[in-house]
Amino acid sequence: MIKSKPWVLITGANGGIGQALVEEFLSAGYRVIATDIVEINRNNTACVVNVQLDLELFVTDEEYANSFVLDITNITEGLGITSLINNAAIQILSPTEQLTRTQWKISFNVNLSAPFFMVQAFLTCLTRNNGSVVNISSIHATQTKKGFVAYATTKAALSSMTRNLAIDLGDKIRVNAIEPAAVSTQMLKAGFEGKDELFKKLEGFHPIARIAKPVEVAELAVFLCSNKSKFVHGAIISASGGIQGCLSDPT
């Protein structure tokens, strides 16, 4: 019966990883609430409900946040969600000298504060449903490069928050994070259009000799929400194809 299926809420559901998350959770028997700041071009069905959500407003406007939570309560007919996937993020690239206060604030609101307040807002139903949270962090949490100071700092904080939530919440819910390296989304591919050699170089930097597919991140998220990972709590899981252990030098 469809009513017995658990609900998962996915933020950033319109992006490459987000779309893969929707499909994988559907395949795993979930009903999906797919949220994004842009309108999602996908028809609502019995198993997928699209909801437009501005995460910065969710952080800064309590009335807006409360209204969203009420919408989710109504969509799930009071059952609430069983899994929360904090996938949405904003990547503002700028050197330190040029990074504005507004860019810094938006980065932290969307990438760090929103995941925290989403957990807080849905903690009651997640606890009732023996729920699980997966935060999509990034390899930039530990290894980054020039121009990524805002993004990398928020991702480092997100991974740290994951560990801290696990301690603070104890056995109420499970909270874990994934730190992917490069993922072959349409956005990434667009950035390498006409740069085939550079793309091959990026793949070659990974010991596994390629970059990740969005579905591989999604499959890991589904696993972390399943009963097969019941003892995994407060974990920060690298999905880097081995690049996280690489030393890059001229020799």
CB atoms within 10 A of CB 247: 4
Q: Is residue 249 a part of any domain in this protein?
A: no
CA-CA distance, 73 to 166, in Å (whole number)? 25
Predicted local distance difference test score (pLDDT) of residue 250:
58
Q: Is residue 247 a part of any domain in this protein?
A: no
Structural domain count, the chain: 1
Q: Is residue 248 a part of any domain in this protein?
A: no
pLDDT in tens, 50-92: 999 999 999 999 999 999 999 999 999 999 999 999 999 999 9
What is the model's pTM? 0.94
> What mean pLDDT comes out for the span 151-164?
98
Q: Is residue 185 a part of any domain in this protein?
A: yes
The strand pairing partners of 179, in sequence order, are 238
Q: Which domain covers residue 99, as residue numbers? A: 2-239
pLDDT in tens, 194-220: 888 988 888 988 999 999 999 999 999
Confidence band for 189, pLDDT divided at 50, 70 and 90 = confident
Q: Is residue 244 a part of any domain in this protein?
A: no
Predicted local distance difference test score (pLDDT) of residue 2:
45
Residue 30 is among the residues annotated as catalytic for this protein = no
Q: Is residue 246 a part of any domain in this protein?
A: no
Share of the chain above pLDDT 90, in %: 83
Using an 8 Å Cβ cutoff, are 243 and 205 in contact?
yes
Query: What secondary structure does DSSP assign to the chain, as a single string?
Result: -GGGSPEEEESSTTSHHHHHHHHHHHHTT-EEEEEESSPP-S---SSEEEEE--HHHHHH-HHHHHHHHHHHHHHTTT---SEEEE---------TTT--HHHHHHHHIIIIIHHHHHHHHTHHHHHHTT-EEEEE--GGGTS--TT-HHHHHHHHHHHHHHHHHHHHHTTSSEEEEEEE--B--HHHHHHTTT-HHHHHHHHHHSTTSSPBPHHHHHHHHHHHHSGGGTT--S-EEEESTTGGG------
Q: Is residue 251 a part of any domain in this protein?
A: no
Q: Which of 151, 154, 206, 233 is catalytic?
A: 151
Q: Is residue 98 a part of any domain in this protein?
A: yes
CATH number at residue 63: 3.40.50.720
